[in-house]
Amino acid sequence: MGHNNGEGSMTGWALVVDVSLCINCRNCVISTKDEYTGNTFPGYSAPHPPEGLDTIRVERHVRGEGSLVDVTYIPKMCNHCDNAPCVKAATDGAIYKRPDDVVVIDPEKSRGRRDLVKTCPYGMIEWNEQEQVPQNWNFDAHLLDAGWKEPRCAQACPTKAIRALNMPDTELEEMVKTEHLTVIRPELGTRPRVFYRNLDDALSHLVAGNVCEATGDGQLRNLEGVEVVLHDSAGGDERTTTTDHFGDFRFSGLTEQTSTIEL
């Protein structure tokens, strides 16, 4: 993580997103568009167009069907990777990583460089047709340099699902470990600085159902408190839960393709 030039543990910016708190209000998207649309920040960003360019996106992830549906919203933005492919591709400094770990696309050096859009494996570099420049969510670097304690997306989040942190890498690494934070597509080896809480749960499999019994008058009655056991067909692990007041049960965080349910 981050940079250390032999001067001890340096501080760098990181973002923590708790997907369990995101309600898809899109305040992060709107506040960021408000900041950049039509506004020029020399050295930081060319003006964004009013439509068609979102450097922060909220993706909707749905599991289940019918009456048992689980919906999660996942805010995505530039990951400000420590091993950023875009920085490597822009050998002339059109994209660079600052000492505080923020990745910035230079609005002048990058002009006309549409090729840089595809260098992001996460698809989080947008092409500004109006200005002919590639653009990312640059952590609102101009605001940080002006003394702001957090970018606008974090400031505007009503549920505090988005938190900006500026801390030494040693503290960040400990926090990632103790709070079980994860990143999107870790197999890419880009070492993102946007971390997620409850992401694995949202992207894993969901097994849900209802337990009921037939009554004498031909009706169905939901059964509360029934013990439900799930067997992992591969690893042999077991999980147990009980049905709620409506007779419903659910198991989340599953990675195996098949499981066995017992009542």
pLDDT digits (tens, 9 = 90+) for 131-159: 999 999 999 999 999 999 999 999 999 99
Q: If DSSP states are collapsed to H, E and C, what string results for 124-178?
A: CCEEECCCCEEECCCCCHHHHHCCCCCCHHHHHCCCCCEEEEEEEHHHHHHHHHH
Categorize the per-residue pLDDT at 234 as very low, low, confident or very high, splitting at 50, 70 and 90: low
Q: Exposed e or buried b for every residue in 144-168, given b needs 16+ CB within 10 A?
A: beeeeebbbbbbbbeeebbbbbebb
Strand 11-18, strand 57-65: pairing: unpaired
Stretch (H or E) spanning 71: strand 68-76
Task: Provide mean pLDDT across the span 92-110.
Answer: 96
Binned at pLDDT 50, 70 and 90, residue 8 comes out as very low
pLDDT value of position 218? 84
Q: How would you classify residue 161: left for phi > 0, otherwise alpha for psi between -120 and 50, otherwise beta?
A: alpha
pLDDT number for residue 233 = 67
User: Is pLDDT at 175 greater than 60 in this prediction?
Assistant: yes
Average pLDDT, the chain: 90
pLDDT, mean of residues 235-244: 84
**Mean pLDDT throughout 36-60?**
95
pTM: 0.81
In contact, 176 and 188? CB cutoff 8 Å: no
pLDDT band, very low/low/confident/very high, at 195 (cuts 50, 70, 90) = very high
| 109 has a pLDDT exceeding 70 | yes
- Six-digit token string for 219: 């009706």
Least confident of 18-22, 61-65, 148-152, 240-244: 61-65
**pLDDT tens track for 110-134:** 999 999 999 999 999 999 999 999 9
